[in-house]
A and B are shown apart, each in its own frame.
Chain A
Amino acid sequence: MELGSIIGFLSGTFFIVFSLLLSASFNIAKVAKIIDPPSVMITIGGSIAAVLIAYPIPRILNALKTIGKIFKPPIIDPKESINKIITLANLARKEGLLALEEAAQSMDDEFLKKGIMLIVDGTDPELVRNILETEMSYIEGRHGDVRGVWDFIGSIAPAFGMVGTLIGLIMMLQDMSDPDALGPQMAIAMITTFYGSVIANFIAIPVSNKLKVFSGDEMLIKEVLIEGMLSIQAGENPRIIEEKLKAFLSPALRNLESGNVDDK
Chain B
Amino acid sequence: MITVTKLNDKEVIINSDFIELIESNPDTMITMTTARKIIVKETIEELIEKITTYKKIINSKL
Assuming A97-B7, A122-B6, is B26 touching A233 (CB within 8 A)?
no
Tell me whether B25 and A235 are in contact (CB under 8 A).
Answer: yes
Tell me whether A125 and B37 are in contact (CB under 8 A).
Answer: yes
Q: How far is the CA of A133 from the CA of B6 in the complex (A)?
A: 23
Q: Which residue of B lies closest to A126 (CB)?
A: B36
Tell me whether B7 and A121 are in contact (CB under 8 A).
Answer: yes
Find the residue from A94, A95, A235 having the highest chain B CB count within 10 A: A235
- The answer, yes or no, to whether A219 is at the interface (CB within 8 Å) is no
Tell me whether A95 and B6 are in contact (CB under 8 A).
Answer: no
Interface residues as binary, A59-94 with B (CB distance below 8 Å gives 1, 0 otherwise): 000000000000000000000000000000000111
Contact partners of B26 in chain A: CB under 8 A: 93-96
- The answer, yes or no, to whether A234 is at the interface (CB within 8 Å) is yes
Assuming A125-B37, A233-B39, A234-B37, is B8 touching A96 (CB within 8 A)?
no
Contact partners of B29 in chain A: CB under 8 A: 234-235
Interface residues as binary, A94-109 with B (CB distance below 8 Å gives 1, 0 otherwise): 1111100000000000
Q: How many inter-chain residue pairs (CB < 8 Å) link A and B? A: 32
Contact partners of B10 in chain A: CB under 8 A: 122
Tell me whether B8 and A235 are in contact (CB under 8 A).
Answer: no
- The answer, yes or no, to whether A120 is at the interface (CB within 8 Å) is yes
In chain B between 22 and 50, which residues have their CB closer than 8 angstroms to a CB of chain A? 23, 25-27, 29, 37, 39
Q: How far is the CA of A95 from the CA of B8 in the complex (A)?
A: 17
Closest CB-CB distance, A127 to chain B, in whole Å?
12
Tell me whether B25 and A98 are in contact (CB under 8 A).
Answer: no
Q: Which residue of B lies closest to A235 (CB)?
A: B25
Contact partners of B8 in chain A: CB under 8 A: 121-123
Q: Which residue of A lies closest to B8 (CB)?
A: A122
Assuming A121-B8, A122-B7, A122-B8, is B27 touching A96 (CB within 8 A)?
yes
Contact partners of A234 in chain B: CB under 8 A: 29, 37
A-B contacts, 28 of them at CB < 8 A, read: A92-B25, A93-B25, A93-B26, A94-B26, A95-B26, A96-B25, A96-B26, A96-B27, A97-B7, A97-B27, A97-B39, A98-B7, A98-B27, A120-B7, A121-B7, A121-B8, A122-B8, A122-B10, A122-B39, A123-B8, A125-B37, A233-B39, A234-B29, A234-B37, A235-B25, A235-B27, A235-B29, A235-B39
Beyond A92-B27, A96-B25: 11 further Cβ-contacts under 8 Å?
Answer: A92-B25, A93-B26, A94-B26, A96-B26, A97-B7, A97-B39, A98-B27, A122-B6, A122-B10, A233-B39, A235-B25
